[in-house]
Amino acid sequence: MSESKNAQAPLQGSQTDGSAAGGWPALTAVNKHLLHQHVLLKGNRTLLSMNKPGGFDCPSCSWPDPKKPHTFEYCENGAKALAWESTKKRVTPEFFSRYTVSELATWSDHDLEAEGRISEPMRYDAASDKYLPVTWDQAFAEIGEELRHLSDPWKLELYTSGRTSNEAAFLYQLFGRLYGMANFPDCSNMCHETTTVALPESIGVGKGTTTLEDFENADAIFIIGQNPGTNSPRMMSELHAAARRGASIISFNPLREKALVRFAAPQDPRDMLSRGGVEISSQYHQVRIGGDMIALQGVCKAVIEADDAAQREGLPRVLDVPFIEEHTHGFERYADYCRQLPWETIERHSGLTRQAMEEVAAVYKRSEGVICCWGMGVTQHMRGGDAMQQIINLLLLRGNIGKPGAGACPVRGHSNVQGDRTMGIYEKAGEPFLASMSKVFGFEASRKKGHAVAETCEALLRGEVEALISMGGNFFRAIPDTDVICPTVSRLRMTVLVNTTLNRSATVHGQKAFLLPCVARSELDMQNGVAQTITVEDSMSMVHGSTGMLEPASKHLISEVAIIAGIAKATLEPNPKVDWDSYVNNYARIIAKATLEPNPKVDWDSYVNNYARIRDKIEEVLPEQFHDFNQRILEPGGFRLPNAASERKWDTESGKANFLFPEGIYDEDDTPPGAKHLQLMTIRSHDQFNTTVYSNDDRYRDIYGDRMVVMLNPLDIERLGLKAGDYIEFQTAQDLATPRRAPGFKVIPYDVPQGCCAAYYPETNGLVPLANRDKRSNTPASKSIPVNLVRMSAEGMQVALERRGLIAAAS
């Protein structure tokens, strides 16, 4: 394996190059988590139906399902998600009677969710500071009453988690638009919004262009700012197969991640018998935090200069000249920009050597098909969009979009985050969608731009939000600048959290607050005696059905669709084209129907009665994408939505794919040699999915029993006068009116470039100033936070240890 990294002293711990990721330890971990939730037998049986035709879609990541699934078509982290859903543990009214909300607020993220499934709807009681049981009809009536009396519809925020189904998301945005606003903060705003905004500027679509079949034919796969072994483990099957057949896999990542070094596929008998696995990355380049953009420009420079040399010497061209001439715009200007970039500047800002980047270019030049994958290591920077566009520039140089074995592959996180956007969860939806919604449902949808997450947070700080409804997720733990923003929430008239488990957002609430538990993805959703199928869209634009199979955790649970329809019926004026009752017919008895006049155009009840009716409406609004929707989801594997760029059709202002690049070097991610401050990147542990923490271990990084750690290069530890095991306080290294601080993190030597450090989120989210975000997409810059590390005093260490007892220990 070719490697490039900063020189450093021998590490004292946290090695990554020992045993392979995956393999027997992954299987052991699956059974451990199923056993811990007391569902070992049920869980293993249920896992056989996950990600299979006729089964249910994994509630974790959005990696697509193969046409010919394995017997075991799930990964370790998908199994953890199922264990969390199918647990026998329950959060009952008796549980809430034992603890005040103030007490629950001191619990760790892990301990809150580890209590299990919420069993029935709850309402906050300010007098006792506790959640008390409430019936569904009372909850809907009170929520509707509150929403009808907000001072302005635009003071309502409707947050969506990426786990929300297409059907629920469609109704949710319909409800919001009928209510009269377009505030749709979404979990994607905090991760791949950069892709959604910047990718269309380059190629005309905001989604990836690849399919799983492209991975079977690629000669080279670039992994940029992504850790698939933890964040999208099923992707490792494709990388494992590609590496085994001889494809080149080149990784760019500040941390040396175990699964990108070597991986043993649990489905492969050869790996399980040998325990050795397959070497994944043929080259591994540890860029400095934020160095991806200029490193990619260095690779492009090497490719362009090789083409210049070929022309001078009369050799075959390196670039795909016919593609560039027919399909692209702006090449000459970009090529001149790359030619004039000094190698010394590129090396200094990327953390890589010229030789390393030329080695990458050599692989790129000889590969007929190249796929570039990226994650939040690219998108969560103040210039994430510019960095992402350099990935596209690299692909365009040799026509690696719109042909087999090639393309752009943004690897999104949550299982239906892409589908929610397709369904209209978008604060600035386009005119065709809004016009179609208006026509189908007989109202005039507002064209005013609403709020995404960043604008919602700003509105909270200004006191301009009166109510916030969260359709899943953990909004008040996932957002940046939590220590500044969360104290404002108590001023809200109302908060509503729809979820399966208890989490931090249940303890950050308005004057009125409701917890509404819903049926989980793996559970049966019965309507009038018929099991309902919902649909999801994966990272590669494949739409397929998902049908739960487990009995719901409680007889009091209802579906997301039913909850949305219940709130809508209790809130909205009648609309003759929206029959909410038809969507949730068997829940009609618990919905406050007496306050509404019948309306033949909005039959909410019919939609809940049969989710196929929701899909009929989706088809009416989006006929080109979802024609024959109910028929096509019956096909094994579902169907792929149209993707113009995959067909080399470019929906851009120029009518072609654009070479785009930033002017000048970007300094926000920079840590000059000798600088006192470091760049902090926030990361997940291996036992974590987004803000859900399954345990306090991180097996792939050899960190156990503790999340309050900071991973540092040994040379930085020495330079800063620290030692392994010291406790430090993070302090933001910016001129801020309110400095951000986070105390109590233990120093761990780790394989990370000098000037860089890493720590887990959400514990570090309070260090991310809301203003630090990508200039176009408003995605928080959670991967490049300038910080100072201050050693804590003995007294401070004692406080930190006490705090760690709350944050990191099991209750």
**Domain end position, chosen among 495, 517, 539:** 517
Reported as a single tens digit per residue, the pLDDT across 611-655 is 999 999 999 999 999 999 999 998 888 899 999 999 999 999 999
Query: If you count DSSP H runs as helices and E runs as strands, how many of each does the chain have, helices first?
Result: 33, 34
Q: Where residue 336 falls among pLDDT bands split at 50, 70, 90?
A: very high
pLDDT over 50 (residue 588) = no
**Is 491 inside a domain boundary?**
yes
Please say if the pLDDT value at position 348 is more than 90.
yes
Inside any domain, residue 82: no
Examine residue 575 and state whether it is found in any structural domain, yes or no. no
Burial class (CB in 10 A: 0-12, 13-18, 19+), 137: middle
Q: Is 32 left (phi over 0), alpha (psi -120 to 50) or beta?
A: alpha
Q: Are residues 117 and 226 in the same domain?
A: no
In a domain, 40, yes or no: no
Looking at the structure, tell me whether residues 328 and 374 fall in a common domain.
Answer: yes
Confidence of residue 668 (pLDDT cuts 50, 70, 90): low
Distance CA 263, CA 19 (A): 9
Q: What pLDDT shows up at residue 530? A: 87
pLDDT value at residue 810: 32
Which of 692-696, 717-721, 802-806 has the weakest average pLDDT?
A: 802-806
Residues 6+ apart with CB under 8 A from 439: none
**Which residue type is seen at 574?**
P
Q: What six digits make up the tokens of 415?
A: 């299982």
User: At 69, is the secondary structure helix, strand, or coil?
Assistant: coil
Query: Same domain, yes or no, for 432 and 309?
Result: no
The stretch 160-165 carries a mean pLDDT of: 92
Whether residue 319 sits in one domain with residue 390: yes
User: Could you tell me if residue 637 is inside a domain?
Assistant: no
Number of domains in the chain: 3
Dihedral pair phi/psi, residue 35, rounded to 5°: -65, -40
Tokens matching residue 529: 């005696």
Evaluate whether 166 touches 432 at the Cβ level (below 8 Å). Answer: no
Assess if residue 483 is contained within a domain: yes
Question: What is the spatial distance between Cα 734 and Cα 767, in angstroms, rounded to a whole number?
Answer: 11
Give me the pLDDT at residue 585, please. 57
332 and 220 within one domain: yes
With CA atoms as reference, report the closest residue to 233 among 753, 687, 752: 687
pLDDT, tens digit, for every residue of 76-109? 888 888 888 989 999 999 999 999 999 999 999 9
Using a pLDDT cut of 90, give the percent of the chain over it: 75
> Tens digits of per-residue pLDDT, 111-135?
999 999 999 999 999 999 999 999 9
pLDDT at 656 over 80: yes
Q: Which domain holds residue 345?
A: 197-410
Q: Are residues 387 and 257 in the same domain?
A: yes
Estimate to the nearest angstrom the gap between the alpha carbon of 192 and the chain centroid: 7
Q: Is 603 among the domain residues? A: no
Alpha helix segments (H runs only) across 610-749:
611-621, 623-626, 629-632, 714-719
Residue 72: predicted pLDDT: 77
Are 367 and 270 found together in one domain? yes
Least confident of 13-27, 96-110, 408-422, 476-490: 13-27
pTM of the model: 0.93
Q: What does pLDDT average to over the chain?
A: 90
Q: Look at residue 38 and tell me if it is in a domain.
A: no
**Are both 162 and 206 inside the same structural domain?**
no
Residues 712, 569: Cα–Cα separation, whole Å = 54
Is there a single domain that holds both residue 456 and residue 357?
Answer: no
Label residue 430 exposed, middle or buried (CB < 10 Å: 0-12, 13-18, 19+).
Answer: exposed
Q: What is the pLDDT of residue 479?
A: 97
Q: CATH code at 157? A: 3.40.50.740
The answer to whether residues 251 and 369 belong to one domain is yes
Q: How many CB atoms lie within 10 A of CB 487?
A: 12
Q: Give the end of a domain, one of 517, 534, 567.
A: 517
- How many other C-beta atoms are found inside a 10 Å radius of the C-beta of residue 623? 12
Residues 733 and 790 in one domain: yes
Instruction: Extract the tokens encoding 616.
Output: 């009929």
Identity (one letter) of the amino acid at 616?
A: D
Please determine, for residue 50, whether its predicted confidence score (pLDDT) is greater than 90. Answer: no
Strands 542-546 and 578-582, bridge-based pairing: unpaired
pLDDT at residue 652, rounded to an integer? 98
The number of CA neighbours under 13 Å toward the Cβ of 488 is 19
pLDDT at residue 493, as a whole number = 98
Mean pLDDT of 457-475: 98
The order of strands in the sheet holding 122-125 is 130-133, 122-125, 512-517, 494-499, 467-471, 156-160
Q: What pLDDT, on the 0 to 100 scale, is given for residue 78?
A: 84
Characterize the bridge pairing of strands 639-640 and 542-546.
Answer: antiparallel
The answer on 328 and 308 residing in a single domain is yes
The CA angle 376-377-381, to the nearest 5 degrees, is 85
Average pLDDT over residues 521-536: 91
Q: Are strands 534-537 and 692-693 parallel, antiparallel or unpaired?
A: unpaired
Q: What is the pLDDT of residue 604?
A: 67
Q: Which of 368, 392, 410 is the last residue of a domain?
A: 410
- Residue 635 CA to residue 443 CA, distance in Å, equals 34
* Domain CATH number, residue 216: 3.40.228.10
pLDDT at 597: 43
